[in-house]
Chain A
């Protein structure tokens, strides 16, 4: 089975812009979660989508949003980018039966200048 894929792998944006990141889960997985990884804060949970509905949300401002499509693919959007949004954004997928077993993609490295 192919793993979780994320596009693009690298992205450079300017402060104030918005960005959309994409994630394709493992085939058959219906749950997609997003995490932010930074050297200072470590790995932090952003939100989880299951069957096109946001099921869980972490403690991030409303500038961070997401959605999931009927084929389970997910996108994450960050509006009005700030320098502190520079991070590795990781997507993880899991099956309906074992939702807690999360399998991560390689991440998208976002740099905000």
Chain B
């Protein structure tokens, strides 16, 4: 059972354009939604994350939009640059009130290519 569905699998965007990656989740207990960026030969790097109490979070050129009722969230990369070319993963987790959290459930990843 794939609990986090990510699309598209691959994406090509022109330099300066907006890259949009979408994720949908099934488990309503999820309450933490991070995005990770992974370059070849490297481990995933935490990019930005959101909790369900807000509908949008922006950090620099990266924005997460969150729709709780639709159980969907997306990553927008503004002014996309060739250096943004990487694989992006959405993830979700359930946080415990006493501290701690479930392991991250990841989407399958999006291979993003920014053409110069």
Contacts and interface: CB of A to CB of B under 8 A. Distances in A.
Interface of A: 4, 31, 33, 35, 42-48, 50, 55-56, 58, 90, 92, 96, 99-107
Contacts of B91: 43
22 contacts: A33-B103, A35-B103, A42-B106, A42-B109, A43-B104, A43-B109, A45-B104, A45-B105, A48-B103, A56-B102, A99-B99, A99-B101, A100-B34, A100-B95, A101-B49, A102-B34, A102-B46, A103-B46, A104-B43, A104-B45, A106-B43, A107-B43
A60 to B, nearest CB: 11
Contacts of A31: 100
A43 B46 contact: no
Contact of A100 (B32, B43, B105): B32
The number of chain B residues touching the other chain, given as a range, is 20 to 34
A55 B43 contact: no
Given A43-B91, A46-B103, A56-B100, 18 more contacts: A4-B43, A31-B100, A33-B104, A43-B44, A43-B104, A43-B106, A45-B105, A47-B103, A90-B43, A90-B44, A99-B100, A100-B32, A100-B34, A100-B93, A101-B49, A102-B104, A104-B43, A105-B43
Give the top 4 A-B pairs by smallest Cβ distance, nearest first.
Answer: A45-B103, A104-B43, A43-B106, A100-B101
Interface string B77-116: 0000000000001010101000111111111110000000
Interface of A is mostly: strand
A100 B107 CA distance: 17
A82 to B, nearest CB: 22
